[in-house]
């Protein structure tokens, strides 16, 4: 069965990229044990020190949506929100056909 993927960008207010990244790395640890989580990858790009990218793979959209409701994750979202410069750029919802390295 195909998996559900997301690749989105969060931009922090000037100088807060590192802080935002560290919150998201903590989120990655918490969701790593969530049901259906296959990938939760936190990245930066050199062109913008305040941008953080999140790449996710889940068994289903439902598994992803459920993870947002977990207590620890909600707290981290609440910590991250005031650091953001505008809304997250969510990117298209992906239907993961397959490939290498996906558990």
Contact present, 94 and 6 (Cβ < 8 Å) = yes
Cα separations in angstroms, 61 against 47, 89, 97: 31, 18, 14
Write out the DSSP string of 23-54.
HHHHHHHHHTTSTTEEEEEEEEETTEEEEEEE
List the x/- string, 15-34, binding to a second copy by CB under 8 A: ------x---x--xx-xx--
Q: Which tokens sit at 46?
A: 């050199």
The distance of closest approach from Cβ of residue 49 to a second copy in the complex, given in angstroms and rounded to an integer, is 11
Among 13, 19, 36, 38, contact with a second copy (rule: CB under 8 A): 38
The distance of closest approach from Cβ of residue 87 to a second copy in the complex, given in angstroms and rounded to an integer, is 19
Among 1, 14, 87, 95, contact with a second copy (rule: CB under 8 A): 95
| Binding stretches for a second copy (CB under 8 A) | 5, 7, 21, 25, 28-29, 31-32, 37-48, 53, 55, 57, 92-103
């Amino acid at each position: 069965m195909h998996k559900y993927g997301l690749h989105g960008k969060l931009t922090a207010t000037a100088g807060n990229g590192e802080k935002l990244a560290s919150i998201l790395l903590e989120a990655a640890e918490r969701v790593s044990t969530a049901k259906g989580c296959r990938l939760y990858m936190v990245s930066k790009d050199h062109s913008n020190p305040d941008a953080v990218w999140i790449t996710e793979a889940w068994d289903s959209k439902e598994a992803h949506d459920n993870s947002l409701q977990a207590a620890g994750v909600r707290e981290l979202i609440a910590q991250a929100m005031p650091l953001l410069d505008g809304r997250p750029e969510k990117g298209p919802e992906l239907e993961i056909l397959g490939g290498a390295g996906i558990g």
